[in-house]
Amino acid sequence: MAIDEGLKHELRRQGIVVMKLEELYNWGRRSSIWPMQFGLACCAIEMIATACARYDIARFGAELFRASPRQADLMIVAGTVTKKMAPQVVRLYNQMAEPKYVVAMGACAISGGPFNRGYNVLKGIDRYIPVDVHVPGCPPTPQALLDGLMKLQEKIDTQHLADVEWYSRAAPREYPVPRFGPRGLEPQYNPHVWQPPEPTGIYLSSKPKEQKRTPTAATT
């Protein structure tokens, strides 16, 4: 049942606010997103700069960085996720209480970033946990992070109480934590969360790229 805007306005002037329960619920959640203190690398410093006086994340209600994942709503994965750290990231994500969100801040969290070719770098945290907002940059400026936060707030505004995943029975409660294998993590990605993309035909050959570290005979 849609309420006439003029009526709403009139009632508001009398001190009566009329809104859907879901709007109230979302307004409360989007205005007080508490991030978890979880800086991994250089992007963490820009995150701290966002929380400081000049860029002031407190305007968005998010100045309270909680140390414990149980009390946080948002995990800003700021920095490179290495294979050694990835199981810990997934464990922390599992420990957060719903409703929870993930912002992948910086090129490294999105796809491995400039360190993409390393033997210890995970190519993006979205291989194991679902990510809501990707903020590109290396590092993203504080303004970019605030823009990402605003996009997250817009996403929260569109969530309907009737079909949010944390109230449904089918939602995954725990994402499987990868194990340390002899050469990397096992499994290499979580198939429910991420699938390798379809071939685009850009690569000229369909064979995997050869490893560059084979020794060559000539060194002069």
Partner 1 sequence: MHSRNVMPEQALETQLLELNIGPQHPSTHGVFRMEVVLDGENVVKLKPVMGYLHRNHEQLAEDMTYIGSMPFTDRLDYFCAMTNNLAYAIAVEKLVGLDVPERAQYIRVIMSELTRLVNHTAVTGFLLNDLGAFFTPTLYAFREREKILDLFEAASGSRMMCNYMRFGGVREDLPDGFLEGACEVVDYYPKFLDEFEKLLTENEILRARTQRVGILPKELAVSASVTGPMLRASGVNYDIRKVDRYSIYDRFDFKIPLGSIGDVYDRYYVRILEMRESVKILDKVLRDIPSGEYLSPRGKAISKAPRTFKPPKGEAYGRIESPKGELGFYLVSDGSVNPYRYHVRPPSFINLTILEDMCLGHKVADAVIILGSVDIVMGEVDR
Partner 2 sequence: MNDLLRPDATQQALQQRVPGLTLTIEGDALIIPADRLLEVGRFLKESEPYRLDYLSNLCAVDFVVEGAHLETVYHLYSMEKKHGPVVLKVRVPRDNPHQPSVVSVWRGAEYQEREAYDLYGIIYDGHPDLRRILMWDGFDGHPMRKDYVQEDQDALEERHA
Site membership for partner 2, residue 204 (CB under 8 A): no
Binding partner selected for residue 141 from partner 2, partner 1, none, CB under the kind-specific 5 to 8 Å limit:
partner 1
Binding partner selected for residue 139 from partner 1, partner 2, none, CB under the kind-specific 5 to 8 Å limit:
partner 1
Residues numbered 67-106 forming contacts with partner 2, rule: CB under 8 A: 84
Torsion of CA 91, 92, 93, 98, to 10 degrees: 120
Contact status, residue 81 vs residue 115, Cβ threshold 8 Å = no
CB of 112 to partner 2, least distance (A): 9
State how far the Cα of 194 lies from the Cα of 178, in Å rounded to an integer. 14
CB of 138 to partner 1, least distance (A): 7
CB nearer to partner 2: pick between 61 and 136: 136
φ and ψ of 123, to 5 deg: -85, 65
Site membership for partner 1, residue 37 (CB under 8 A): yes
* Of positions 119, 162, 169, 170, contacts partner 2 by CB under 8 A: 119
Residues numbered 165-194 forming contacts with partner 2, rule: CB under 8 A: 180-184, 188-189
Dihedral sign for Cα atoms in the order 83, 131, 148, 55: negative
Site membership for partner 1, residue 2 (CB under 8 A): no
CB nearer to partner 2: pick between 70 and 212: 212
User: Which region among 24-32, 94-102, 166-174, 198-206 touches partner 2 (by CB under 8 A)?
Assistant: 198-206
Site membership for partner 1, residue 93 (CB under 8 A): no
The burial class, CB within 10 Å (0-12 / 13-18 / 19+), for 63 is middle
Site membership for partner 2, residue 208 (CB under 8 A): yes
3-class DSSP assignment, residue 103: strand
Binding partner selected for residue 13 from partner 2, partner 1, none, CB under the kind-specific 5 to 8 Å limit:
none
Residues numbered 182-201 forming contacts with partner 1, rule: CB under 8 A: none
- Which DSSP string corresponds to 111-177? H-GGGTT-SSB-S-GGGTS--SEEE-SSSPPHHHHHHHHHHHHHHHHT--GGG-GGGSTTS-S-PPP
Is the bond preceding 130 in cis, omega lying within 30 degrees of 0? no
